[in-house]
């Protein structure tokens, strides 16, 4: 499993430090599809980069850590975040956002994979044997094996994305992180790719972490969800529980804001915008846009509170914390004023 | 046709793909017919829905006179805008039809204050003579989208959220009081919490300012929410069009059915697996129905003959053999 321990990952910019994620803490279990939802700028991509151990300036880890638990030669080992990169591809692989455009346009698909992450496998098996296995693997996933010989521009966006997902799981990594894997794609192709991800997970019994702003996508494929808002975790729950009884007002809004086909109800967006992460407010970060918020919410930071087994909420109104007046939060509350 | 209207007659756009040798021709838009009344009191929102490569953006760009059609005519209020336009014609045209683009962060330069775009539109297209006139027009447009000149003037794009910027683009487009707004994926780059503010704005503009809106999207749920009529495009053809509630609640064309089934809905999980196309470019070249290879109801005739546009009672049109019982139509086609 992966343990995220009170992680604060920030960016150093000319204007100051952007606190992209702050005090994020949750576990990613084995054999699950975990969804991370939230809007642009809520820190989901930053969190993914940190989990993947790909921390490069201007991003840095201000406090906290991430631990990857791996089994090597029958032994349980805990890998700290600065060493995660040694386990890339074999244990943990990452499908970045806009991965359709990360491919080199003048190199055939197969060469891009053979020359980069499969070098160890090429040495062990030989190039041709490996290519045969890749072709067989693609066929298993109902993709035409000819795509290996194609240049990226010869494939449609949806096909490219499917090939990337397939090849990223080729060596059966324990963890696959996918950042907005279907965002630029059409509904039909999106459905195809998500179904493929679900089937892969069932086959491999590994863990997928899916970042998406689309709650429909989460409903369809994830087992558990983390809702983020302005760099902090707002709610964590099993997906069915989250949709049935969302506790955080922001989660409610994410689920209910968009219309559905066949539903004639009038809908309204919510006013305001997320706070600047250069200088986040002292209290609850959603307070300015929340219909429940009062003066108290603007002063005190809510902690994540377990309201039922496995269901955590950070809201002073819905889940009043037992430790409301911890020195930490009251201190921050004063600083923000 | 008399009166104010947008008439799209048999319009095609053919692109060549590939180099000098071995280039293939692709009809991005293939003989499309569409007519929209722009008469006062008849304003409506028409959604143009389709996946990438369906030709919806190409069609929109042709309507906006940004791309020339290869064949066919596009007529706005009696003026054919399919060919070249003189300067004065262009100005008249820009007063009638205005665009709203997909990515508000790209439509405004980060080095200019956003109001400069508004004032330029007021001067050049509306023809405001004095600074005071221009200011009045800009302020009015901004108030109509729920903002105000004070809040906007002198600020740069990075000081606004995506939703606000998109509302400013709508305000800019509304300055010359157009009859037609063409909005290409206007909310796809905007966060869920702010998306509905923009979508509701379209309803308001239709009702209060009598502007007809062509809403181009791949999102069926906002299309259902906002539009009066809907046209579904696939590989350059409009395959089904009609009143949006009827089309989306009871789709007739198999492609519309597939689209609706594929939406990642909340509250209803997906059923069995769908078939995805392998090589999509091939489909543009099909003689018969372009959806034939993926269609669960396909028969031989679908691959050989272009399907007819079938009209139904509820005001919809469907480009398909299925509703007319494959056989009959085949004979009609042969005797023609």
**Chain B within 8 Å of A270 (Cβ-Cβ)?**
yes
Residue B90 has pLDDT above 80, yes or no: yes
Beta-strand runs (E) in chain B: 5-17, 24-37, 45-49, 71-76, 79-80, 97-100, 180-184, 212-217, 229-234, 237-243, 309-311, 317-319
Q: Which of A189, A253, A261 sits opposite B220 (nearest CB)?
A: A261
**A74 versus B185: which is more confidently predicted?**
B185
Mean pLDDT lowest among A126-140, A284-298, B233-247? A126-140
Those residues with Cβ within 8 angstroms of residue B50's Cβ, 6 or more apart along the chain or in another chain:
B56, B218, B232, B233, B234
Confidence of residue A327 (pLDDT cuts 50, 70, 90): very low
Name the one residue in this structure whose structure tokens are 């991800």. Answer: A197
β-pairing, B237-243 with B229-234? antiparallel
At what angle are helices B131-144 and B162-174 packed, to 10 degrees?
130
Contacts of A119 (CB under 8 A, 6+ apart): none
| R_g over Cα of chain B | 21
Decide if A222 is inside a domain.
no
**For residue A258, what pLDDT is reported?**
82
The answer to whether position B309 is within a domain reads: no
Non-local (6+) Cβ contacts of B140 within 8 A are none
Place of tokens 């929102």: B45
Q: Does the pLDDT at position B282 exceed 70?
A: no
Taken as a whole, chain B contains a residue count of 336
Phi, psi of A314 (to 5 degrees): -110, 80
Residue A320 · residue A296 · CB < 8 Å: no
**pLDDT reading at A333 higher than 50:** no
pLDDT at B330 over 60: no
The reported pLDDT for the residue numbered B214 is 95
Shortest CB distance from A187 goes to which of B195, B262, B277?
B262
A–B: how many Cβ contacts below 8 A? Answer: 124
Q: Which is nearest to B186 in space by CA: B165, B206, B158?
A: B165
Q: pLDDT at residue B308 above 70?
A: yes
DSSP conformation letters of B47-77: EEE--TTSSHHHHHHHHTTSS--SEEEEEET
Nearest to B82 by CA among B65, B59, B96, B98: B65
Domain count, chain B: 1
Indicate the SS3 state at residue B211.
Answer: coil
Is the CB of residue A243 less than 8 Å away from at least one CB of chain B? Answer: yes
Instruction: Answer yes or no: is pLDDT of B5 > 70.
Output: yes
Winning range, highest mean pLDDT, from A32-41, A139-148, A149-158: A32-41
Q: Cβ of B19 under 8 Å from any chain A Cβ?
A: no
Tell me: pLDDT of A150 over 50.
Answer: yes
Q: How confident is the model at residue A186 (pLDDT cuts 50, 70, 90)?
A: confident
Cβ-nearest to B52 among A186, A192, A273: A186
Is B187 within the bounds of a domain?
yes
Give pLDDT tens digits for A56-88.
889 999 999 999 888 777 788 888 888 888 888
Q: CB contact, 8 Å: B273 with chain A?
A: yes
- The predicted pLDDT at position B82 comes to 81
Q: What is the pLDDT of residues A175-184, one digit of tens each?
A: 999 998 887 7
The CATH number of the domain holding residue B27 is: 3.40.50.300
CB contact under 8 A, B191 and A39: yes
* Residue A118 backbone phi and psi in degrees, to 5: -100, 15
DSSP secondary structure letters along B266-301: SSS---SPPPPPSSTHHHHT-SS-TTGGG-TT--HH
Query: Is residue A292 within 8 angstroms of chain B, CB to CB?
Result: no
Nearest-angstrom CA–CA distance, B28 and B51: 12
Domain that holds residue A136: 101-172
CA angle B273, B275, B276 (to 5 degrees): 125
Longest dimension (CA), chain B: 68
Summarize the confidence of residues A242-250 as an average pLDDT. Answer: 95
State both tokens at B143.
Answer: 């108030």
Residue B43 placed within a domain? yes
Q: Which residue has the tokens 């002198």?
A: B154
Q: Is residue B319 part of a domain?
A: no
The yes/no answer to whether this complex scores an ipTM above 0.95 is: no
Mapped onto helix, strand or coil, the DSSP state of residue A253 is helix
In angstroms, rounded to a whole number, what is the distance separating the alpha carbons of residues B106 and B173? 16
pLDDT confidence tier of residue B1, bands split at 50, 70 and 90 = very low
The reported pLDDT for the residue numbered A336 is 37
Position with higher pLDDT, A234 vs A146: A234
Task: Say yes or no: B260 contacts chain A, CB-CB below 8 A.
Answer: yes
Helix axis angle for B254-262 and A187-204, nearest 10°, is 50
Is B48 contained in some domain? yes
* Residue B263 lies inside a defined structural domain of this protein: yes
Tens of pLDDT, residue by residue over A26-48, are: 999 999 999 999 888 888 989 99
Cβ atoms of residues A282 and A299 within 8 Å: yes
pLDDT at B280 over 60: no
- Closest CA of chain B from A323, distance in Å: 31
Interface of A with B in 200-219 (CB under 8 A): 213-217, 219
User: For position B272, what pLDDT does the model report?
Assistant: 65
pLDDT tens digit sequence for B23-53? 778 888 989 999 888 888 889 999 999 887 7
User: Which of residues 220 through 239 in chain B touch A, CB cutoff 8 A?
Assistant: 220-222, 224-225
Helix (H) or strand (E) holding A333: helix A327-336
Query: Are the CB atoms for A76 and A69 separated by under 8 Å?
Result: yes
For residue A139, give the H/E element and its range.
helix A127-140
Helix (H) or strand (E) holding B105: helix B104-107
Region B199-210: what's the mean pLDDT?
Answer: 93
Those of residues 78-97 in A touching chain B at CB distance below 8 A are: none
> Residue B201 above 90 pLDDT?
yes
Instruction: Tell me whether residues B164 and A216 touch, CB distance under 8 A.
Output: no
CA distance A253 to A292: 12
Per-residue pLDDT, averaged over B171-200, amounts to 90
Q: What is the pLDDT of residue A110?
A: 86
Q: Return the pLDDT at B274.
A: 59
How many structural domains compose chain A? Answer: 1
Does the pLDDT of residue A330 top 80, yes or no? no
Q: Is the pLDDT of residue B228 over 60?
A: yes
List the single best residue of B24, B47, B193 to mutate versus A (max A Cβ within 10 A): B193
Task: With beta carbons under 8 A apart, name residues in chain B contacting A260.
Answer: 221, 224, 265-266
Residue A188 and residue B51: Cβ atoms within 8 Å? yes
Q: Is A90 exposed, middle or buried (0-12, 13-18, 19+ CB in 10 A)?
A: middle
pLDDT at A99: 63
pLDDT digits (tens, 9 = 90+) for B161-182: 888 899 999 999 999 999 999 9
- Best mutation target, A261, A264, A272, A277, to test chain B (most B CBs within 10 A): A261
Candidate from A195, A219, A269 with C-beta closest to B197: A269
Predicted confidence band of residue A326 (pLDDT cuts 50, 70, 90): very low
**pLDDT average, residue stretch B93-122:** 92
CB A18 within 8 A of CB A42: no
Taking alpha carbons only, the member of A253, A225, A262 closest to residue B263 is A262
Question: What is the domain extent for residue B199?
Answer: 3-279
């Amino acid at each position: 499993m992966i343990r995220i321990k009170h992680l604060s990952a920030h960016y150093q910019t000319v204007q100051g430090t952007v606190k992209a994620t702050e005090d994020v803490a949750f576990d990613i279990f084995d054999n699950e599809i975990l969804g991370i939802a939230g809007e642009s700028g809520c820190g989901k991509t930053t969190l993914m980069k940190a989990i993947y151990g790909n921390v490069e300036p201007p991003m840095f880890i201000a406090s906290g850590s991430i631990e990857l638990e791996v089994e090597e030669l029958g032994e349980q080992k805990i890998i700290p975040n600065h060493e995660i990169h040694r386990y890339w591809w074999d244990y943990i692989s990452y499908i970045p956002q806009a991965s359709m455009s990360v491919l080199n346009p003048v190199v055939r698909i197969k060469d891009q994979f053979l020359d980069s992450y499969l070098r160890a496998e090429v040495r062990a098996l030989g190039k041709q044997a490996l290519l045969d296995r890749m072709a067989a693997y693609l066929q298993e996933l109902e993709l035409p094996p000819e795509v290996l010989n194609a240049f990226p521009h010869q494939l449609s966006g949806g096909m490219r994305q499917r090939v990337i997902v397939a090849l990223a799981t080729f060596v059966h990594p324990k963890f696959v992180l996918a950042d907005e894997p279907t965002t630029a794609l059409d509904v039909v192709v999106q459905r195809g790719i998500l179904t493929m991800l679900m089937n892969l997970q069932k086959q491999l019994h590994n863990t997928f972490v899916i970042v998406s702003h689309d709650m429909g996508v989460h409903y369809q494929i994830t087992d558990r969800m983390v809702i983020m808002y302005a760099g902090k975790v707002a709610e964590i729950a099993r997906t069915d529980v989250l949709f049935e009884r969302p506790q955080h007002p922001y989660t409610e809004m994410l689920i209910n804001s968009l219309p559905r086909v066949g539903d004639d109800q009038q809908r309204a967006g919510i006013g305001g915008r997320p706070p600047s992460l250069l200088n986040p407010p002292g209290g609850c970060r959603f307070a300015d846009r929340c219909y429940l918020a009062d003066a108290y919410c603007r002063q005190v930071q809510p902690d994540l509170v377990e309201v039922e087994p496995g269901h955590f909420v950070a809201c002073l109104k819905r889940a009043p914390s037992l430790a409301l007046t911890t020195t930490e939060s009251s201190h921050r509350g004063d600083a923000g004023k | 046709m008399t009166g104010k209207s947008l008439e799209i007659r048999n319009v095609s756009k053919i692109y060549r793909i590939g180099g000098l040798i071995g280039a293939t021709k692709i009809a991005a838009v293939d003989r499309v017919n569409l007519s929209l009344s722009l008469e006062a009191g008849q304003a409506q929102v028409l959604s143009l829905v389709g996946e990438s490569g369906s030709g919806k953006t190409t069609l929109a760009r042709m309507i906006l006179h940004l791309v020339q059609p290869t064949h066919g005519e596009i007529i706005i209020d009696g003026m054919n805008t399919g060919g070249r336009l003189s300067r004065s014609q262009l100005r008249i045209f820009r007063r009638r039809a205005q665009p709203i683009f997909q990515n508000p962060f790209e439509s405004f330069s980060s080095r200019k204050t956003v109001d400069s775009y508004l004032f330029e539109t007021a001067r050049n297209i509306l023809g405001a003579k004095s600074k005071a006139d221009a200011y009045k027009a800009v302020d009015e447009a901004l108030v109509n989208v729920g903002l105000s000149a004070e809040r906007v003037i002198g600020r740069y794009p990075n000081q606004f959220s995506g939703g606000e910027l998109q509302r400013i683009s709508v305000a800019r487009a509304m300055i010359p009081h157009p009859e037609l707004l063409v909005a290409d994926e206007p909310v796809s780059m905007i966060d869920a919490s702010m998306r509905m503010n923009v979508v509701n704005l379209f309803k308001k503009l239709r009702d209060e300012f009598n502007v007809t809106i062509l809403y181009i999207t791949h999102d069926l749920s906002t299309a259902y929410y906002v539009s009066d009529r809907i046209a579904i495009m696939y590989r350059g053809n409009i395959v089904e069009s009609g009143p949006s509630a009827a089309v989306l609640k009871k789709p007739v064309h198999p492609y519309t059915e597939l689209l609706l089934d594929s939406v990642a809905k909340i509250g209803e999980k997906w059923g069995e697996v769908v078939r995805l196309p392998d090589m999509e470019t091939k489909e543009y070249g099909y003689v018969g129905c372009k959806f034939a290879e993926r269609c669960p109801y396909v028969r031989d005739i679908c691959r050989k003959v272009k399907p007819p546009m079938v009209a139904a009672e509820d005001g919809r049109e469907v480009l398909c053999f299925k509703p007319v019982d494959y056989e009959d139509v085949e004979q009609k086609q042969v005797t023609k």
